[in-house]
Amino acid sequence: MPDSFNALVRDLCDDDRSVWEAAEDRLVALGVQVVDTLLPYAGEAGPSRLKWGAESVLRKLGDQAVPRLREIRRQGPGRLRGNALKVLVDLGGAECLDEGDLGAVERLVRIKLLDERPVRVPSEAGRWLAFPADRLDDAVAALGLHDVRAATTVMGVAAATQATDSLEFQDAQGTTRTAYRVFITPAFETWLSEVPIQNWCMLWGNSFIDQLDGFALADKLSERCGEAHLYILDPYNRAENWYVSRDGHGVRSFGSYDEPQFQGEPLPFEVEYREDADEDEAEEYAEGVPYAVTAADYLSVEPGRMPASGTHGHGWLATTHPDVPNSRFKGALPI
């Protein structure tokens, strides 16, 4: 590595913002010749100033870096091949990969799906829809989903809640539109349900639910699937919502900042909570159950670690427009 490269790489770690920003700019100006130097740092485990700086430079190089990254994938050096794959997907999505790499990734997903038990879905925060697992095809049709493909839960949760999950594009008429990526979980059993549905799927997709109105999406789902729910956990704002829709219409909901907080008639599980409440809980459950996770536990499935014995099938990644497949979304995903 030339001494000038060494000095600039050291500067990427500097605490002074002006120093590391200047180092990034100079490395970008040097062009594709810095790719081999920065790749080892882009693949470091865990957060670090050097990792962020190296990845920032490679992102700014963008298309300039792609031919060299593809060359490393084909010809080595071997120590850089894994990181080159990750950066290629970060820069341009799976569309940047050649057929050999695409095939390798698909084989790895199939292998991982064979023993992906138990699985875990986020339980601390997030928003998700729930629908009967035996109505998967109806759910896909109701939400207009496309390019539905098998995915591990680790991969799907990252795609729908951490990586880029929305993408602007121009349709055939030249109109700018937005496509979203979502993840549908495996089917999960529930034993506390008050309705005769024993297996539920969750649909995760932060941008999809936020931008297209999760309540309206639940109504669409329930119109085709009989019943659907929306759950929201927002610890930052100390807010929770849960919403039950049946046959296309909302029947019961709670929202921390709604006025009134409860709408619709209390459901049987809420009546039980109210009747069983002790003196300290009487006010808490006077109108119903104000907790999204509790409602999910009784109505569908509570998120978190899912028992292997109660998990069936595998998850699915999908997008919301036929012209935008999953491969268009940028960002390497864990498998």
293 and 147, same structural domain?
A: yes
49 and 9, same structural domain?
A: yes
Name the residue range of residue 309's domain.
120-328
Which secondary structure element, helix H or strand E, spans residue 79, and what is its range?
helix 78-92
Q: Indicate whether 170 belongs to any domain.
A: yes
Name the residue with tokens 């080892």. Answer: 40
309 and 221, same structural domain?
A: yes
Span of 151-165, 215-229, 236-250 with lowest mean pLDDT? 151-165
pLDDT digits (tens, 9 = 90+) for 186-207: 999 987 655 566 899 999 999 9
Point out the domain boundary residue: 62, 97, 132: 97
In the prediction, which pLDDT does 80 show? 86
Q: Indicate whether 204 belongs to any domain.
A: yes
280 and 213, same structural domain?
A: yes
129 and 83, same structural domain?
A: no
Sign of CA dihedral 287, 292, 295, 297: negative
Distances (CA, A) of 172 to 34, 83, 318: 38, 35, 21
Name the residue with tokens 């909901």. Answer: 253
Q: Indicate whether 164 belongs to any domain.
A: yes
Are residues 164 and 182 in contact, defined by beta-carbon separation less than 8 angstroms? no
Side chain identity, residue 126: G
69 and 139, same structural domain?
A: no
pLDDT digits (tens, 9 = 90+) for 138-197: 999 999 999 999 999 999 999 998 888 999 999 888 899 999 999 999 999 987 655 566
Token pair for 214: 């999760």
35 and 138, same structural domain?
A: no
Q: Is the pLDDT of residue 246 over 80?
A: yes
Are residues 189 and 198 in contact, defined by beta-carbon separation less than 8 angstroms? yes
CATH number for the domain including 25? 1.25.10
Of 69, 103, 68, 99, the residue nearest 84 (C-alpha): 69
Q: Indicate whether 277 belongs to any domain.
A: yes
How many domains does the chain contain in total? 2
267 and 178, same structural domain?
A: yes
158 and 84, same structural domain?
A: no
315 and 177, same structural domain?
A: yes
Of 101, 90, 99, the residue nearest 66 (C-alpha): 90
Q: Indicate whether 109 belongs to any domain.
A: no
187 and 156, same structural domain?
A: yes
203 and 155, same structural domain?
A: yes
pLDDT digits (tens, 9 = 90+) for 124-143: 889 999 999 999 999 999 99
